[in-house]
């Protein structure tokens, strides 16, 4: 088990006229090694939820356990938590601040009481992992890099902490198609190398269907469903209720089935759909 969430609720500005409940009794367990997609309309509680996972938001009610760190403890080990859960916020490039790429990426590990040597090694490794040439970018100002490169530097800063769990809020927002492809393949690579458990928040249903093996659907602060992409994207009632869009692949498959085509199973990925269309045509 990577993260266990029990009966989690959260209200912003409680006991004031502005009180707004963001999470209601969220209860589920995220296993180690999964690629989880969190979906839901804007305002459904997705961001509030993930901010709990590295204690950016203090628990109000319910409990969370991340690996063996208990966030309900009187003094949870936040230092270890933040070394375990790496959080890449929306538009992380806006948070770059230091004068060189190397210093910026080193900021996190420096807070982990590591040796100078160890920090250097980690920074070099992280910058290389995100696909940048360490020697070429180390002394450059992060602000003179392109948008996609800046985002990679920001991700490197998180990777340098060697988090076992990597969480990314809308990692492809605002990127052009090439940048989007690169970031998604980078995330896959990081899952295989440094961070076996990956959680992304995304509005891009096509990407969620292609990449994720589990999906958590939030609606009005509640966990409306936690299941495989097939189960979620073929549950018409649930989708209508939560006003969610479905991936193009699923739309096409449903339309074909409606016409009576014998498309096997519940395809959610492009390759699956194409393969099944071919099979049906060859019948």
x/- string (CB under 8 A) for another protein, residues 78-117? Answer: -------------x--------------------------
Minimum Å distance from CB 276 to another protein?
A: 11
Nearer CB in complex with another protein: 50/55: 50
Counting Cβ atoms within 10 Å, is residue 53 exposed (0-12), middle (13-18) or buried (19+)? Answer: buried
What's the CA gap between 224 and 280, in Å, rounded?
Answer: 34
Tokens of 165: 């769990």
What's the CA gap between 102 and 157, in Å, rounded?
Answer: 9
Q: Which of 64, 101, 156, 249 binds another protein (CB under 8 A)?
A: 249
Angle at 35 between CA 200 and CA 165, to 5 degrees: 75
Query: Could you tell me if residue 69 is left (phi over 0), alpha (psi between -120 and 50 degrees) or otherwise beta?
Result: beta
Segment interacting with another protein (CB under 8 A) among 37-45, 81-89, 105-113, 123-131 = 37-45
What's the CA gap between 171 and 187, in Å, rounded?
Answer: 9
Q: Which of 178, 192, 237, 240 binds another protein (CB under 8 A)?
A: 178
265 binds another protein (CB under 8 A): no
Binding site for another protein (CB under 8 A): 41-43, 91, 146-148, 173-180, 203, 206, 245, 247-249, 251-252, 255-256, 258-259, 261, 270, 273-274, 277-278, 280-281
């Amino acid at each position: 088990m990577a993260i266990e969430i029990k009966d989690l609720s959260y209200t912003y500005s409680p006991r004031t006229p502005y009180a707004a409940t963001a999470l209601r009794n969220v209860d589920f367990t995220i296993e180690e090694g999964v690629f989880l997609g969190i979906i839901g309309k804007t305002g459904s509680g997705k961001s509030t939820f993930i901010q709990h996972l590295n204690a950016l938001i203090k628990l109000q009610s319910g409990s969370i356990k991340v690996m063996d760190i208990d966030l309900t403890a009187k003094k949870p080990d936040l230092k270890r938590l933040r070394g375990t859960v790496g959080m890449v916020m929306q538009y992380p490039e806006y948070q770059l601040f230091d004068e060189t790429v190397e210093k910026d990426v080193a900021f996190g590990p420096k807070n982990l009481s590591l040796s100078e040597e160890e920090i250097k090694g980690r920074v070099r490794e992280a910058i290389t992992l995100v696909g940048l040439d360490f020697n070429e970018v180390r002394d450059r100002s992060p602000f003179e890099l392109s948008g996609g490169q800046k985002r990679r530097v920001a991700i490197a800063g998180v990777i340098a902490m060697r988090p076992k769990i990597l969480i990314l809020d809308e990692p492809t927002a605002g990127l052009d198609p090439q940048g989007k492809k690169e970031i998604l393949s980078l995330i896959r690579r990081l899952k295989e190398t440094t961070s076996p458990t990956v959680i992304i928040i995304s509005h891009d249903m096509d990407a969620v269907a292609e990449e994720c093996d589990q999906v958590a659907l939030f609606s009005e602060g509640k966990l409306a469903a936690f299941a495989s992409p097939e189960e979620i994207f073929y549950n018409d009632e649930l989708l209508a209720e939560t006003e969610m869009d479905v991936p193009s692949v699923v739309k096409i498959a449903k339309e074909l089935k409606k016409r009576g085509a014998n498309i096997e199973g519940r395809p959610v990925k492009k390759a699956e759909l194409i393969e099944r269309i071919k099979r049906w045509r060859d019948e």
